[in-house]
Chains A and B, each alone.
Chain A
Amino acid sequence: MSQTKGAKKRKLSLEKKHNLTGWIFLTPATIMIAVMSFWPMIQAFILSFQTGKANKLKFGGFTNYIRMFQDKDFMQSLSNTFFYLIIQVPVMLILALILASMLNNKNLRFKGLFRTAIFLPCATSLVSYAIIFRSLFGVDGFINSVLIKLGILNTGYNFLGNATSAKIVIIIALIWRWTGYNMVFYLSGLQNIEYSVYEAAKIDGASPMQTFFKITVPLLKPTILLTTIMSTNGTLQLFDESVNLTKGGPSNATITMSHYIYDQSFKYVPKFGYAAAMSFLIFILVAILAFIQMKVGDKRD
Chain B
Amino acid sequence: MKRKILSALLCVAMTATMLAGCGDKADDSKNSDSDTQQEADNNAGDDKQEAADDAGDSEGGGNKLTVWCWDPAFNINAMEKAGEVYQKEHPDFTVDVVETPWDDIQKKLTTAATSGALDTLPDIILMQDNAFQKNVISYPEAFVDLTDSGIDFSQFGEAKTAYSVIDGKNYGVPFDNGAVIAAYRTDVLEEAGFKIDDFTDITWDEYLEKGKTVLEKTGKPLLSCQAGESDVIMMMLQSCGSSLFDDDGNPAMVDNAALKKVMETYNALKEAGVLVEVNDWDQYISTMTTETVAGTINGCWIMASIKTANDQSGKWAITNMPKLVDVENATNFSNNGGSSWAITSNCQNVDLAKDFLASTFAGSVELYENIIESGAIATYLPAGDSDVYGKADEFFGGDAVSAKIVEYAGKCPSNNTGVYYYEARNAVAIAMQNVVQGANVDDELKAAQETVEFNME
Provide the bound-state CA to CA distance between A248 and B181, in Å. Answer: 29
Q: Does A110 contact B (CB under 8 A)?
A: no
Among the listed B134, B292, B454, which residue makes an inter-chain contact with A71, where contact means beta carbons less than 8 Å apart?
B454
Q: Does A210 contact B (CB under 8 A)?
A: no
- A265 contact set on B, CB distance < 8 A: 110
CB-CB under 8 A for A54 and B422, given A1-B4, A138-B283? no
- A161 contact set on B, CB distance < 8 A: 227, 277, 279
Provide the bound-state CA to CA distance between A250 and B436, in Å. Answer: 11
- A17 contact set on B, CB distance < 8 A: none
CB-CB under 8 A for A270 and B138, given A55-B114, A134-B279? yes
Q: Which of A234-290 contact B (CB under 8 A)?
A: 247-252, 263, 265-270, 272
- A70 contact set on B, CB distance < 8 A: 454
Provide the bound-state CA to CA distance between A273 and B407, in Å. Answer: 46
Q: Which of A101-131 contact B (CB under 8 A)?
A: none
**Contact A269 B420, beta carbon cutoff 8 Å:** yes
Q: Which of B426-457 contact A (CB under 8 A)?
A: 426, 430, 433-434, 451, 454-455, 457
**Contact B138 A54, beta carbon cutoff 8 Å:** yes
Among the listed B423, B430, B457, which residue makes an inter-chain contact with A268, where contact means beta carbons less than 8 Å apart?
B423
**Contact B430 A270, beta carbon cutoff 8 Å:** no
Chain A proximity of B43: nearest CB distance (Å): 20
Provide the bound-state CA to CA distance between A53 and B277, in Å. Answer: 35
**Contact B278 A54, beta carbon cutoff 8 Å:** no
Closest Cβ neighbor of A244 among chain B residues = B280
- B107 contact set on A, CB distance < 8 A: 266
CB-CB under 8 A for A73 and B423, given A55-B113, A270-B114? no
- B406 contact set on A, CB distance < 8 A: none
Among the listed B4, B110, B116, B283, which residue makes an inter-chain contact with A139, where contact means beta carbons less than 8 Å apart?
B283
**Contact B433 A269, beta carbon cutoff 8 Å:** no
Q: Does A135 contact B (CB under 8 A)?
A: yes
Interface readout for A13-56 with B: 1 if CB under 8 Å, 0 if not? 00000000000000000000000000000000000000001110
Provide the bound-state CA to CA distance between A45 and B127, in Å. Answer: 32
Provide the bound-state CA to CA distance between A269 and B114, in Å. Answer: 12
Among the listed B103, B134, B228, B292, which residue makes an inter-chain contact with A249, where contact means beta carbons less than 8 Å apart?
B228
Report the interface size for chain A: residues with CB under 8 A from the other chain: 31
SS class of chain A's interface: helix, strand, loop or mixed? loop
Chain B proximity of A41: nearest CB distance (Å): 17
Q: Which of B113, B292, B433 lies at the interface centre, i.e. has the most chain A CB atoms within 10 A of its CB?
A: B433
Q: Does B106 contact A (CB under 8 A)?
A: yes
CB-CB under 8 A for A251 and B433, given A138-B283, A139-B283, A160-B279? yes
**Contact B430 A135, beta carbon cutoff 8 Å:** no
Q: Does A295 contact B (CB under 8 A)?
A: no
CB-CB under 8 A for A269 and B227, given A135-B282, A138-B279? no
Provide the bound-state CA to CA distance between A139 and B277, in Å. Answer: 10
Q: Which of B72-122 contact A (CB under 8 A)?
A: 103, 106-107, 110, 113-114, 116
Provide the bound-state CA to CA distance between A250 and B434, in Å. Answer: 9
Q: Which of B255-283 contact A (CB under 8 A)?
A: 277-280, 282-283
Chain B proximity of A133: nearest CB distance (Å): 11
**Contact B422 A138, beta carbon cutoff 8 Å:** no
Chain B proximity of A147: nearest CB distance (Å): 17
Chain B proximity of A131: nearest CB distance (Å): 8
Q: Which of A137-163 contact B (CB under 8 A)?
A: 138-140, 158, 160-161
Q: Does A5 contact B (CB under 8 A)?
A: no
**Contact A268 B420, beta carbon cutoff 8 Å:** yes
Q: Does B419 contact A (CB under 8 A)?
A: yes
**Contact A54 B113, beta carbon cutoff 8 Å:** yes
Among the listed A67, A252, A272, which residue makes an inter-chain contact with B114, where contact means beta carbons less than 8 Å apart?
A272
Provide the bound-state CA to CA distance between A43 and B426, in Å. Answer: 30
Q: Does A299 contact B (CB under 8 A)?
A: no
**Contact B420 A54, beta carbon cutoff 8 Å:** no
The size bracket of the interface on B is 20 to 34
- Report how many A-B pairs have Cβ atoms within 8 Å: 76
Chain A proximity of B249: nearest CB distance (Å): 11
- A249 contact set on B, CB distance < 8 A: 227-228, 433
Provide the bound-state CA to CA distance between A160 and B228, in Å. Answer: 11
Closest Cβ neighbor of B444 among chain A residues = A251
- B282 contact set on A, CB distance < 8 A: 135
Q: Does A11 contact B (CB under 8 A)?
A: no
Chain A proximity of B165: nearest CB distance (Å): 19
**Contact B110 A270, beta carbon cutoff 8 Å:** yes
Interface readout for B276-304 with A: 1 if CB under 8 Å, 0 if not? 01111011000000001000000000000
Q: Does A72 contact B (CB under 8 A)?
A: yes
Provide the bound-state CA to CA distance between A139 and B434, in Å. Answer: 19
Chain B proximity of A267: nearest CB distance (Å): 5
Provide the bound-state CA to CA distance between A158 and B277, in Å. Answer: 9
CB-CB under 8 A for A54 and B114, given A247-B228, A269-B138? yes
Among the listed B116, B292, B423, B430, which residue makes an inter-chain contact with A55, where contact means beta carbons less than 8 Å apart?
B116
Chain B proximity of A79: nearest CB distance (Å): 16
Provide the bound-state CA to CA distance between A158 and B454, in Å. Answer: 31
Chain B proximity of A227: nearest CB distance (Å): 32
Chain B proximity of A175: nearest CB distance (Å): 21
Closest Cβ neighbor of B282 among chain A residues = A135
**Contact A55 B419, beta carbon cutoff 8 Å:** no
**Contact B139 A54, beta carbon cutoff 8 Å:** yes
- A53 contact set on B, CB distance < 8 A: 138
CB-CB under 8 A for A266 and B228, given A53-B138, A135-B282, A249-B433? no
**Contact A252 B430, beta carbon cutoff 8 Å:** yes
- B4 contact set on A, CB distance < 8 A: 1
- A73 contact set on B, CB distance < 8 A: 451
**Contact B419 A269, beta carbon cutoff 8 Å:** yes
Among the listed B139, B227, B419, B422, which residue makes an inter-chain contact with A250, where contact means beta carbons less than 8 Å apart?
B227
Provide the bound-state CA to CA distance between A67 and B423, in Å. Answer: 17
Provide the bound-state CA to CA distance between A251 and B457, in Å. Answer: 22
- A267 contact set on B, CB distance < 8 A: 422, 426
Provide the bound-state CA to CA distance between A115 and B348, in Å. Answer: 60
Closest Cβ neighbor of A53 among chain B residues = B138
**Contact B434 A251, beta carbon cutoff 8 Å:** yes
- B455 contact set on A, CB distance < 8 A: 268-269
Chain B proximity of A28: nearest CB distance (Å): 16
The contact sample of 18 A-B pairs, CB cut-off 8 A, is A54-B113, A54-B139, A55-B116, A72-B454, A73-B451, A135-B282, A139-B279, A158-B277, A158-B279, A247-B228, A247-B280, A249-B227, A267-B422, A268-B422, A268-B423, A269-B420, A270-B114, A272-B114
Chain A to chain B: the 5 pairs with minimum beta-carbon distance, closest first? A54-B138, A249-B228, A55-B114, A251-B430, A251-B433
Known: A73-B451, A138-B279, A263-B426. 4 other contacts (CB 8 A): A67-B457, A70-B454, A267-B426, A269-B419
